[in-house]
Amino acid sequence: MVYQIDDATAVASLPALPTDNIGTPGFFTGGSTSGGAPTRVRYWWLNMVQEELRNLVIAAGLTQDKTNNAQVLAALKVLFVQLGGKSALADNAVFLGKRADVTSGAARVGLFVDNTDFGAIATIGAGNLGQSGSTEQYYQLESQGSKSLELTFNAPVAGVVHAEASANYSSQNTNQSLLSLSINGVTVSSDQVTGTTCMSNGGCAAVSPGPVTISSYCGTSATSPPNIGHTLRYVFVPT
């Protein structure tokens, strides 16, 4: 239950602190039967306590609610990450929260360590963010033919795809050969060579969360091309 006092006698702005030296800092007392005076709770002290609690709730982005008696606890859960039994370092801020670019799933959780020299860190989640895949096919193209290989996956978060394609001929192809590599329909590498026995392409591209397609095209002008070993592979790295 954190909110500003709304009694009819409340004022609109925070009163200034008293300038006189009221007394020695200490603790509350209820007085005594022998004549000891109870501690007087002054307005400015109550205002300080009120504002300390309110600022916790405000910093957490919560709405002040006089009917909710667990708002400070809720605010603390938003503002702080529970440490795993290790001491906290003053210069090592850890931020944990939902990623703005992901709308569903366990991958919404993002971790950031605000330190330029924090060494190795590890996280364990409900799924793997980094992914990889590969395919390899052996075939002979038709006269002046072509063939494409394709790999697809679903990127859980934004990241970078590193891809590589290669074509190895069983003997020298005396005619032109074309090998290209594309990520989500955009060509990232392409070579056209005459008289080759092997070709390779590599490249990378930034991708958004969602479906990703990596493909490699292999074609030739030869009327009787040699056999080909065509390979396509990728690695996805979250950013």
> Consecutive sets of 10 residues in the chain, 239 residues long: mean pLDDT of each?
82 84 83 84 90 92 90 85 52 60 62 55 57 91 91 90 92 87 94 86 93 94 89 91
pLDDT reported for residue 113: 59
d(CA 49, CA 43): 10
The domains of the chain, with CATH numbers, are: 1-79 (no CATH), 81-126 (no CATH), 131-238 (2.60.120.1340)
35 CB neighbour count, 10 Å cutoff: 6
pLDDT at 188: 94
pTM of the shown model: 0.51
Of the candidates 91, 73, 213, which has an alpha carbon nearest to the alpha carbon of residue 148?
Answer: 213
